[in-house]
Amino acid sequence: MKAFQLVVFDMAGTTVRDQHEVEHCFAQAASQTDLIVSDERILAMQGLSKRFVFETLWREQLGQPSPSELTAKVDHSYQLFTEILENHYRTQPVVPTEGCLETFDFLRKNGIRIALTTGFYRKVTDIILEKLGWLTGLDEQYVGNSQTIIQASIASDEVEHGRPQPLMIQKAMRLLGVSDPKSVVNVGDTPSDLQSGRAAGVAFNLGVVNGTHTRAQLEAYPHDQLLGSLGDLPTLLSASSFQKRANGLSL
């Protein structure tokens, strides 16, 4: 296991159970602010910065809006969305996905650091982490140590560009002192998660199919393997073929 130094996980749908709640919150905010968007389009844009999604969709609906008109529309929709989303996570149960805690335990026992990235902004990220108990022990930069459940948390509003750009993965690496992307594994449940992992040049770019997207929906996007759940990850990382690839050896 020495070849791997860091596993970067998405949050909603990957490490935090998501039964399409985020999409429902987004759809509610869109409907109440007269933004017309299908459920399929919302799903396809999961994992991206939510403000970026509103900006993209409003730009499409308005055609060629003036900067002031676009900003006003985006601000209105996004503000309502944040209120709906924060209320949801404050009042509803927040639980890890299948196999998540067991996988975290496996990684810590093998000296592999855990970073969480998300399309959420910091405030709602902290609500979720606090309810799960994963915020405990992190410092002001949201960096932990070998005793904390996770070792780093990066939200989309803490980098210049969210997914599908690789900046959150790269920030996790910097915070944790990992210089070689070929010692990093990326895991997510959305197309933008997989696109971000490919852009970062990670050793293994893995999708999970029990989150917001199915196997069929993720097949077309860059990945090394698709997992049934996070519970499959320890076996995969322990497999001799993956270890050889991680060490630059031929299979």
Measured between alpha carbons, how far is 186 from 9 in angstroms, rounded to an integer? Answer: 6
Q: How many CA atoms lie within 13 Å of 216's alpha carbon, on the beta-carbon side? A: 0
- pLDDT at 249 > cutoff 50: no
* 25, burial (CB in 10 Å: exposed 0-12, middle 13-18, buried 19+): buried
Among candidate residues 94, 98, 47, 95, the one with its CA nearest the CA of residue 232? 98
pLDDT, residue 245, reads 59
- Cα 38 to Cα 6, 30, 230: the distances in Å are 36, 10, 29
Better-predicted residue by pLDDT, 187 or 246: 187
Please tell me what DSSP assigns to residue 97: P
Question: How far is 151 from 116, CA to CA, in rounded Å?
Answer: 8
Using the predicted structure, report yes or no on whether residue 2 has a pLDDT greater than 60: no
pLDDT of residue 122: 96
Mean of per-residue pLDDT scores for the chain:
93
pLDDT confidence of residue 72: 97
Which of 29-33, 45-49, 68-72, 211-215 has the lowest average pLDDT? Answer: 45-49
Taking residue 2's Cβ as centre, other Cβ atoms within 10 Å add up to 11
The strand pairing partners of 63, in sequence order, are: none
Structure-block tokens of residue 67? 């900067």
Rounded to 5°, the CA angle 172-173-175 comes to: 65
> What pLDDT is attached to residue 163?
93
pLDDT per residue as tens digits for the range 160-177: 999 999 999 999 999 999
pLDDT digits 0-9 by tens, 33-71: 999 999 999 988 887 888 899 999 999 999 999 999 999
For residue 243, pLDDT over 90 is answered with: no
